[in-house]
């Protein structure tokens, strides 16, 4: 059996390893010069910094899959606790802890009387996670009927899927700052806390329950380790190999076209952004998808570390609601946005020359074409001023180099509409409504990745690859029996 995988992101690479493990001949076609997709480093001379993902969630999910693939011990993960500070304008800082006792004490210190609500939040969310994970994260919904079962509907009601994450946080916490602290995590997957379904409240819960981790050497190391495994296992990788078409005959795909050449295959797995992958298939109906938010990213090589006390840091603006309204409803840049600062050099001296450091700043912005690259660059100057004011007055003198990535570069890198996280995690693009792992009527074409169920984020995309491989093993068995 010859399997071709279109796209060498984490979803494509993990699926390739599972396919090889099942004894198939596997080949990856990747448009870019190297594998990893969004899971990559920005390299500059002796400096390197993660270009996309930085927050490692659900370590058990990642480790279980690496173990399945005999890749355990290839990466080392460190637990980050405290998780991160949230710095509010006016000087107040809420430290978020994975450790529940410490978190309760910190909440009580700043918001007297609210620590009991935190305990209640964690207790309720734990039950919801226990019910929600097996129902929605561990399986696919190949038929709509398999989603709308009595049991799933009861779980959706339990998860309060009809509410937003923010509304759910409001049920527990009186302080708006605490509500923000327990809902801004939808931005990790490109959705507004005010609009994203409360099923995604499992993200802030998981930070406390399962922790935030750091891959030693940077998250991009995971892509490097997997790329090495592909080579060791003789999986052929074609880079600079953009796929332009999937050829079909009756109800089956017969192969792909890349660099004007037809390559036959028995099975095709699409890992690029789903709205583009869909268009590789003949005769598909037009369907519009809503993109996730974009990111303005600023990378710095520094002659010293940036002055933050923690690896992950959130700087809140005066009103997260206004930022979200501008971003998701008005499609415009907010003048006082919340932003995130990543300072891995605090715990990792492999990223820069001795004594030097690297840093990464992320501002959630609209993935909108009408905002020009020039507009984003002007905006980045304002953000830099804010950054200097709020983190490090000496930052300008420390800068050895800086690099900016806007949604325009993301779009050029095949990210849907320049959004960072695939299609938005809205209710009508989640669960059964998200493209599924076998999304077409063609018998041998499959999909995996951030825009496909179960959704975006490194562990969840890896989980999608695992679910897909389970389906493929069942289909293999079926062929053997017949
Ligand atoms: C700025 C940013 C921050 C993030 N932060 C986090 C975080 O902290 N934690 C977390 O868990 N996740 C985070 N994410 C999300 C995470 O990176 C993604 O969910 C995940 O990497 C998606 O993997 P994928 O395999 O679906 O897609 P991709 O990584 O996009 O890979 C798809 C690959 O397909 C290739 N391709 C596309 N079209 C074609 C074609 N026609 N022919 C051949 N190849 C093609 C692309 O070049 C790409 O390499 C972040 C993402 C970004 C951008």
Contact 451, 7 (CB under 8 A): no
Smallest CA separation from ligand 1 atom 5, residue:
53
Mutate to test the pocket of ligand 1, among 32, 34, 38 (most ligand atoms within 8 A of CB): 38
Ligand 1 atom closest to 420 (CA) = 53
User: Considering only CA atoms, which of 257, 212, 242, 236 is closest in space to residue 85?
Assistant: 212
Question: Domains of the chain (ranges plus CATH)?
Answer: 2-41+217-289+425-481 (3.50.50.60), 101-206 (no CATH)
CB 420 near ligand 1, within 6 Å: yes
Contact 28, 16 (CB under 8 A): yes
- Please state, rounded to an integer, the average pLDDT across all residues of the chain: 95
CB 364 near ligand 1, within 6 Å: no
pLDDT computed for residue 482 by the predictor: 67
Ligand 1 atom closest to 13 (CA) = 25
Tens of pLDDT, residues 267-292: 999 999 999 999 999 988 888 999 99
Mutate to test the pocket of ligand 1, among 271, 274, 468 (most ligand atoms within 8 A of CB): 271
Tens of pLDDT, residues 43-85: 999 999 999 999 999 999 999 999 999 999 999 999 999 999 9
Contacts within 8 Å (CB) and 24+ apart, 248-253: 248/281, 248/282, 248/442, 251/441, 251/442, 251/443, 252/442, 252/443, 252/444, 253/281, 253/442, 253/444, 253/445
First to last CA, the chain: 16
**Mean of the pLDDT values across residues 133-138?**
85
Partner residues linked to 85 by β-bridges: 95
Contact 37, 220 (CB under 8 A): no
CB 295 near ligand 1, within 6 Å: yes
Smallest CA separation from ligand 1 atom 45, residue:
7
Q: Looking at 19, 51, 207, 273, which residue is catalytic? A: 207
pLDDT score of 428 more than 90:
no
pLDDT computed for residue 152 by the predictor: 80
Smallest CA separation from ligand 1 atom 50, residue:
53
What secondary structure does DSSP assign to 446-481, as a single string?
EE-STTSTT-SSHHHHHHHHHHHHHHHHHHHHHHHH
CB-count burial class (<10 Å; 0-12, 13-18, 19+) for 365: buried
Q: Is 125 helix (H, G, I), strand (E, B) or coil?
A: helix
Smallest CA separation from ligand 1 atom 15, residue:
457
Mutate to test the pocket of ligand 1, among 37, 279, 363, 455 (most ligand atoms within 8 A of CB): 37
Q: What's the 369 CA to ligand 1 centre distance in angstroms?
A: 20
CB 455 near ligand 1, within 6 Å: no
Token pair recorded at residue 366: 């609209």
Tens of pLDDT, residues 157-213: 887 888 999 999 999 999 999 999 999 999 999 999 999 998 898 899 999 999 999
CB atoms within 10 A of CB 423: 25
Which element (helix H / strand E) includes 365?
A: strand 357-365
CB 211 near ligand 1, within 6 Å: no
Smallest CA separation from ligand 1 atom 26, residue:
449
pLDDT score of 375 more than 70:
yes
Give the C-alpha separation, 449 to 455, whole Å: 7
Model pTM?
A: 0.97
CB 54 near ligand 1, within 6 Å: yes
- Write the Ramachandran bin of 265: left for phi over 0, alpha for psi from -120 to 50, otherwise beta: beta
pLDDT score of 240 more than 70:
yes
Q: What's the 316 CA to ligand 1 centre distance in angstroms?
A: 26
CB 39 near ligand 1, within 6 Å: yes
Q: Catalytic site residue 207?
A: yes
User: What share of the chain has pLDDT > 90, as a percent?
Assistant: 87
Ligand 1 atom closest to 51 (CA) = 1
Ligand 1 atom closest to 7 (CA) = 34
Mutate to test the pocket of ligand 1, among 52, 276, 418, 462 (most ligand atoms within 8 A of CB): 52
């Amino acid at each position: 059996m010859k399997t071709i995988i279109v796209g060498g992101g984490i979803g494509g690479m993990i699926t390739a390893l599972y396919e090889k493990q099942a004894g198939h001949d596997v080949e990856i076609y990747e448009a870019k010069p190297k594998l990893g997709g969004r899971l990559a480093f920005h390299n500059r001379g002796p400096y390197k910094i993660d270009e996309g993902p930085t927050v490692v969630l659900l370590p058990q999910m990642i480790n279980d899959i690496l173990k399945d693939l005999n890749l355990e011990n290839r990466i080392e993960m460190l637990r980050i606790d405290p998780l991160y500070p949230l710095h509010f304008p006016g000087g107040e800082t809420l430290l978020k802890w994975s450790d529940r006792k410490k978190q309760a004490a910190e909440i009580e210190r700043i918001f007297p009387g609210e620590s009991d609500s935190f305990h209640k939040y964690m207790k309720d969310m734990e039950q919801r996670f226990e019910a929600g994970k097996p129902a929605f994260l561990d399986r696919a919904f190949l038929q709509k009927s398999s989603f709308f079962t009595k049991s799933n509907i009861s779980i959706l009601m339990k998860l309060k899927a009809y509410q937003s994450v923010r509304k759910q946080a409001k049920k527990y916490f009186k302080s708006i700052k605490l509500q923000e602290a327990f809902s801004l995590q939808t931005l990790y997957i490109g959705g507004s806390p005010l609009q994203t379904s409360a099923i995604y409240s499992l993200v802030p819960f998981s930070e406390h329950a399962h922790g935030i981790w750091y891959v030693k050497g940077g998250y991009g190391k995971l892509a490097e380790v997997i790329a090495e495994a592909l080579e060791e296992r003789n999986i052929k990788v074609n880079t600079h190999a953009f796929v332009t078409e999937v050829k079909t005959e009756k109800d089956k795909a017969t192969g792909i076209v890349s660099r004007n050449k037809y390559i036959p295959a028995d099975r095709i797995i699409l890992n690029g952004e789903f709205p583009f992958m869909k268009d590789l298939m003949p005769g598909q109906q037009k369907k519009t998808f809503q993109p996730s938010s974009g990111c303005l990213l600023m990378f710095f090589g520094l002659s010293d570390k940036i002055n933050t006390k923690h690896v992950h840091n959130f700087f809140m603006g005066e009103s997260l609601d206004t930022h979200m309204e501008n971003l998701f409803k008005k499609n415009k840049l907010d003048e006082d946005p919340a932003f995130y600062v990543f300072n891995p050099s605090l715990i990792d001296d492999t990223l820069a020359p001795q004594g030097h450091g690297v840093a990464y700043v992320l501002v959630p912005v609209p993935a909108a074409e009408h905002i020009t690259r020039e507009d984003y660059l002007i905006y980045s100057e304002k953000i830099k001023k804010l950054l200097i004011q709020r983190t490090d007055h000496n930052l300008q003198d420390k800068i050895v180099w800086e690099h900016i990535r806007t949604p325009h570069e993301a779009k050029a890198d095949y990210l849907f509409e320049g959004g960072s996280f695939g299609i938005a995690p809205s209710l009508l693009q989640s669960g059964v409504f998200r493209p599924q792992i076998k999304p077409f009527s063609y018998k041998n074409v499959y999909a995996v990745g951030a825009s496909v169920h179960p959704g975006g984020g490194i562990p969840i995309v890896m989980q999608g690859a695992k679910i897909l491989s389970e389906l493929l093993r069942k289909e293999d068995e079926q062929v053997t029996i017949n």
